Amino acid sequence: MMDFATRVHNHNYRLDPIIRSLLDTDFYKFLMHQFIWMLYPKVPVTFSLINRTKTVRLAEIIPEAVLRAQLDHARTLTFRENELIWLAGNRFYGRRDIFRPEYIEYLRTFRLPDYKLETVDGQYVLTFEGDWAAVTMWEIYALAIVSELRSRIAMASLDKFELDILYAQTKTKIWNKIKKLKSYPDMRLAEFGTRRRHGFLWQEWVTDAMANELGRSFVGTSNALLAFKHSFEAIGTNSHELPMVFGCLADSDEVLKTAQYDVLAKWQEVYDGELLIILPDTFGMTQFLRDAPAWASKWTGMRMDSKEPVAAGEEVIAWYAMRGEDPRKKRAMFSDGLEVDLMIDLHQRFRG
């Protein structure tokens, strides 16, 4: 059993690395990374991590030297041989050949590129600039580092006894949620918390608890390292990043309009089957569905992420019906800020 109090107390050591493996990221990053590496590796991009909660002044909470130390450590990491073997040889979504041998060889020498860190009005502005295939992988590592550092600093003043009580209370909250979910054995859910996690060890404990207690309801985790360590199913397809970059590359309003569909057309040239999940809300779900090409309705399903989930689900059902498709044969994934009660409500409304 993990002794969280001792481990958190030990975070006061000179450097307790947050990112210890390049697998410690969302699985969809590898699917997107291969896609980018195959088709658009040298497209110049600039990504920035900006705190949208302005009342939380991160630069006044996290010392710059501490943040730099974690970012610099992440840049020293390379993929281990057994991690590459797992990516190359494991079965994902029923396939053992999702990752091309050439891509695995590319990963063998991959390292994270440099970064730029600035302080503006009490906030950090963390920027990554360069070739798309190099820069894209920073996303989840950077988010996890900032999120976990904030948690570490918030708990640094607590002694071991206080930490022990804190984790006992939090475990009880998690258990009460799991008990609720166990009442709905035909529900399917996955863990998707890497980017905003309290810490890797806590994420691992919660994911393991879900896997042990929820049985078939728990279908996997988005975290590739947890999937690797515990033989969980690795979950994920793609994110808003792809149509956003395609949109930035557009040189006219017409090209901008079709960019959200062009990226899906390219995606289905690289992947098929269970990976054909549409994320329709980068520029708004309603306009996406209204103007979507006929082949889009043939995809496996949709992930509803930004729109109010009940309204989104009903809109998608109506869209499939209008396109002559049976919505009951499609997969719906809800992923935005879900709490247990909302998960249960959505399951009861849309199951079947």
Query: What CATH number did the domain enclosing 282 receive?
Result: 3.20.20.70
Predicted confidence (pLDDT) per residue in 47-73, tens digit: 999 898 999 999 999 999 999 999 999
The answer on 42 and 141 residing in a single domain is: yes
Pairing of strands 218-221, 189-191: parallel
Nearest to 289 by CA among 327, 320, 264, 253: 320
Q: Within a 10 A sphere around the Cβ of 191, how many other Cβ atoms?
A: 23
Going by C-beta distance under 8 Å and a sequence separation of 6 or more, which residues neighbour residue 43? Answer: 36, 131, 132, 245, 249
Q: Which residue has the higher pLDDT, 305 or 64?
A: 64
Confidence at 306, pLDDT banded by 50, 70, 90: confident
Q: Which of 127, 155, 183 is the last residue of a domain?
A: 155
**Is residue 119 pLDDT above 90, yes or no?**
yes
pLDDT at 114: 98
Q: Is residue 173, in this structure, part of any structural domain at all?
A: no
The answer on 30 and 128 residing in a single domain is: yes
Q: Which of 134, 155, 176 is the last residue of a domain?
A: 155
Q: Is residue 215, in this structure, part of any structural domain at all?
A: no
**Is residue 105 pLDDT above 90, yes or no?**
yes
pTM value?
Answer: 0.93
Task: Reduce the secondary structure of the chain to three states and give it as a string.
Answer: CCCHHHHHHHHHCCCCCCCCCCCCCEHHHHHHHHHHHHHCCCCEEEEEEECCCCCCCHHHHCCHHHHHHHHHHHHCCCCCHHHHHHHHHCCECCECCCCCHHHHHHHHCCCCCCCEEEEECCEEEEEEEEEHHHHCCHHHHHHHHHHHHHHHHHHCCCCHHHHHHHHHHHHHHHHHHHHHHHCCCCCCEEECCHHHCCCHHHHHHHHHHHHHHHHHHEEEECEHHHHHHHCCCECCCCCCHHHHHHHHHCCCHHHHHHHHHHHHHHHHHHCCHHHCEECCCCCCHHHHHHHCCHHHHHCCEEEECCCCHHHHHHHHHHHHHHCCCCHHHCEEEECCCCCHHHHHHHHHHHCC
The answer on 270 and 150 residing in a single domain is: no
pLDDT at 10: 60
Computed over every residue of the chain, the mean pLDDT equals: 94
Q: Is residue 178, in this structure, part of any structural domain at all?
A: no
pLDDT at 273: 74
The answer on 262 and 140 residing in a single domain is: no
Predicted confidence (pLDDT) per residue in 182-240, tens digit: 999 999 999 999 999 999 999 999 999 999 999 999 999 999 999 999 999 999 999 99
Q: Is residue 23, in this structure, part of any structural domain at all?
A: yes
- The label of the residue with tokens 């496996």 reads 300
pLDDT at 94: 84
Q: How far apart are the first and last CA of the chain?
A: 38
Query: What CATH number did the domain enclosing 119 receive?
Result: 3.20.140.10
The answer on 39 and 150 residing in a single domain is: yes
Confidence at 324, pLDDT banded by 50, 70, 90: very high
Task: Report the share of the chain in percent with pLDDT over 90.
Answer: 90
The answer on 150 and 8 residing in a single domain is: yes
pLDDT at 71: 98
The answer on 12 and 124 residing in a single domain is: yes
**Is residue 301 pLDDT above 70, yes or no?**
yes
Mean local confidence (pLDDT), 322-349? 94
Q: What are phi and psi of 321, to 5 degrees?
A: -60, -40
The answer on 132 and 253 residing in a single domain is: no
Q: Within a 10 A sphere around the Cβ of 156, how many other Cβ atoms?
A: 11
**Is residue 274 pLDDT above 80, yes or no?**
no
pLDDT at 96: 86
The answer on 13 and 148 residing in a single domain is: yes
Range of the domain at 250: 241-350
The answer on 147 and 245 residing in a single domain is: no
Task: Report the share of the chain in percent with pLDDT over 70.
Answer: 96
Q: Is residue 172, in this structure, part of any structural domain at all?
A: no
Q: Is residue 212, in this structure, part of any structural domain at all?
A: no
Pairing of strands 44-50, 116-120: unpaired
pLDDT at 1: 62
The answer on 151 and 38 residing in a single domain is: yes
Tokens of 235: 């979950």
The answer on 291 and 148 residing in a single domain is: no
Predicted confidence (pLDDT) per residue in 1-21, tens digit: 667 766 666 655 568 999 999
Q: Is residue 22, in this structure, part of any structural domain at all?
A: yes
**Is residue 122 pLDDT above 70, yes or no?**
yes
Q: Is residue 42, in this structure, part of any structural domain at all?
A: yes
d(CA 53, CA 212): 35
Q: Which of 132, 155, 178 is the last residue of a domain?
A: 155
**Is residue 346 pLDDT above 90, yes or no?**
yes
Q: Is the torsion defined by CA of 231, 232, 233, 234 positive or negative? A: negative
Structural domains counted in the chain: 2
Mean local confidence (pLDDT), 23-47? 97
Q: Is 288 exposed, middle or buried (0-12, 13-18, 19+ CB in 10 A)?
A: buried
